[in-house]
Amino acid sequence: MTNGGGALRADGMVRFEFVLPPGYGEDRQVIVMVSSSDDAGAPVYSQLDGLLSYDAPVITRTSPDRNATMGTGWLRVFVQGENFCDGQDGCGELLVDGVAVRFARELAAEGDMLAPRIIRWSNTEVEFEIVDPSSATGGTAEPLPVQIKVDRRLSNEASFLRPVPFFDAL
């Protein structure tokens, strides 16, 4: 079931379609109240109970650039996709090379200035900053894998490397 819509069947005869708000999780309870009338025109109310599960997060794109707030030697990376949750109350986790990345405000409170940091999180995009992996290796580095984890469900793996082109001399 996707965030764009869903279907629920009742006794194989009725089909209801509805739009789901952004969310996350598995086996979320759904209650649908249906109002109709019988042959005499008297109201008849039915309740349908069911479960729905949101799809796992999906990464469709990673986009690094050099506009990090931390300055020279850092990359800002946008991870785009869907079903990331809203980032509130610890609903999601960003993994870079298998290691969880924390929010910038948490790191600032601890005085940790070199750790990768999440800047912004929404249901469709996570922005984070990380020390440019190629800066420590003289301009060469392997792509770093990125995943989003929401409610114990991992996204596909994507990767990023330094933005191209790289013009130090300009």
How far apart, in Å, are the Cα atoms of 142 and each of 15, 116, 135, 145, 160?
A: 50, 17, 12, 9, 9
Domain that holds residue 16: 6-52
In a domain, 33, yes or no: yes
Same domain, 32 and 77: no
Whole-model pTM above 0.75?
no
Residues 42 and 72 in one domain: no
pLDDT tens digits for 17-69?
667 767 777 787 878 777 778 888 888 887 778 887 788 999 999 999 888 88
Please answer whether residues 81 and 146 qualify as being in contact, where contact means their C-beta atoms are separated by less than 8 angstroms: no
Same-domain status, 73 and 89: yes
Of 122, 128, 136, the closest CA to residue 69 belongs to: 128
Contact yes or no for 84/123 (Cβ under 8 A): yes
pLDDT digits (tens, 9 = 90+) for 119-151: 999 999 999 999 887 776 555 678 889 999 998
Q: Are 94 and 79 in contact (CB under 8 A)?
A: yes
